[in-house]
Amino acid sequence: MSDAAEDLAQSTSDASLRRSIARSKEIEADIAVHPERYRMLTGDRPTGNLHLGHYFGSLRNRVRLQTAGVKTFIVVADYQVITDRDGTGPIRERVMGMLADYLAIGLDPERTTIFTHSAVPALNQLLLPFLALVTDAELRRNPTVKAELEATGDRPMSGLLLTYPVHQAADILFCKANLVPVGKDQLPHLEQTRVVARRFDERFGRATDKPVFPQAEALLSEAPIILGLDGQKMSKSRGNTIELGMDADTTAKLIKKAVTDSDRHITYDPAARPEVSNLLLLAGLALDRRPEDLADEIGDGGGGGLKKLLTEAVNELFAPIRAKRAELTADPGYLEEVLRAGNQIANDVADQTLSEVRQAMGMVY
């Protein structure tokens, strides 16, 4: 690509991002007045335990939107566990642990539908017509597919990984979600969903009075980037996280080992002092305070003072969540009941959508 072409592509991308940010702000304002207009889909892969990064990055925002009155669907993407690995691991344990985390932070199964991929056949059946609407080249250009492939090293790309964006489109469209909380780097994924919806209605939906699928919009997350306790990217596989279900003593021990630097005077400077600033950011998020103010208070207290503050802030914030989680995990029958109910609702919705798809395609016999 020439320099001029690269500049054009970048300017186009920047303009698109600005439009997405502006539209996201409009949606936020409208939710405050008309939450009933929105149906949201989001979810997680059960590849490990949920942690602080998940909580501050997305989980508490889900509770906020649920409380605001937005109809919410959350997929526990168990089928997606095998996109980049050979087995499922302790999948049942992780699914039930994730469900306990969801309920402990305040997600209400009466207002939020929580379900698993593998329990909703009609959702997955949408993959067949959807795959006919995209090309191999489009899938390989998807930034997330490219990033995931690079992360697997020399491992051959599975068909499931290659079609991951289409599976995600099925997740969003099966329940006709028109709102998806995403980070800026996930916008291409959502655009793929919009393309699938648009192409389906162009090819098959003309016989109907209205489009079969909505054009889902992004609700851009303003969550800051949070590093792990070692100063690297927060990741379940790195073991540099504080899990929601950890007890107070384990949390304290992990924070005590967190990376800082040799300067005893604490300042918030993400560029020059990323590790110290990350711990300040975490404390600020837990306390709902500015990290700069916390740095001023700690002053010459050094890394020890910073870690003490962070430990107390995290343990205080998560104490009621951990207590609720312990109560939930002690009653596996209740968790199973919640998941069965969520799966039933998801199946009813998916069956209806698949019926509409078959009618649009003339495949009702």
> Can you give the pTM of this predicted structure?
0.91
- Return the percentage of the chain with pLDDT > 90, whole number: 73
| Residue range 190-202, pLDDT digits in tens | 999 999 999 999 9
Which of these, 92, 120, 126, lies nearest to 213 by C-alpha position? 126
- Mean pLDDT of the region 140-164: 82
Average pLDDT over residues 181-189: 84
Nearest residue to 259 (alpha-carbon basis) of 223, 212, 227: 227
Tokens of 17: 């991002």
CA angle (54, 317, 256) in 5-degree steps: 80
Token pair 């998801």: residue: 346
CA–CA gap between residue 68 and residue 361 (Å, rounded): 37
pLDDT for 206: 64
Quote the distance between the C-alpha of residue 237 and its chain's center: 17
What length is written for the chain?
365
Instruction: Report the DSSP beta bridge partners of residue 113.
Output: 73
Q: What confidence tens digit (pLDDT) does each residue in 14-28 have?
A: 777 888 889 999 999
225-258 pLDDT, tens digit per residue, is 888 888 888 776 777 889 999 999 999 999 999 9
| Residue 262 in tokens | 């040799």
pLDDT of residue 121: 97
**What is the predicted pLDDT for the residue at 48?**
87
pLDDT at 6 over 70: no
What pLDDT digit, counting tens, does each position of 84-113 carry?
A: 888 888 999 999 999 999 999 999 999 999
Q: What are the extents of the domains in the chain?
A: 12-223+332-360, 248-329
Amino acid 314: pLDDT: 96
Fold classification of 248-329 is: Tyrosyl-Transfer RNA Synthetase (1.10.240)
Lowest mean pLDDT among 27-41, 142-156, 264-278, 318-332: 142-156
**DSSP string over 59-103:** IHHHHHHHHHT-EEEEEE-SGGGGGSSSS--SHHHHHHHHHHHHH
Q: pLDDT at position 207, please?
A: 53
pLDDT of residue 208: 57
* 101 touches 329 (CB < 8 A): no
The answer on pLDDT for 2 being more than 50 is no
Selected from 3.20.20.70, 3.40.50.620, 3.60.70.12, 3.60.21.10, the CATH number assigned to the domain covering 12-223+332-360 reads 3.40.50.620
Distance, in Å, from the CA atom of 184 to the CA atom of 48, rounded to the nearest integer, reads 24
**What pLDDT digit, counting tens, does each position of 205-226 carry?**
765 567 899 999 999 877 778 8
Asked which of 48-52, 107-111, 146-150 is least confident by mean pLDDT, the reply is 146-150
- Dihedral (CA of 164, 165, 168, 174) sign: negative
- d(CA 318, CA 313) in angstroms, rounded, equals 9
- Residue range 176-186: average pLDDT? 89
| Mean pLDDT value of segment 339-354 | 98
The rounded distance, in Å, linking the Cα atoms of 190 and 163 is 14
Residue 347 predicted with pLDDT over 80:
yes
Handedness of CA 287, 293, 297, 298 (dihedral sign): positive
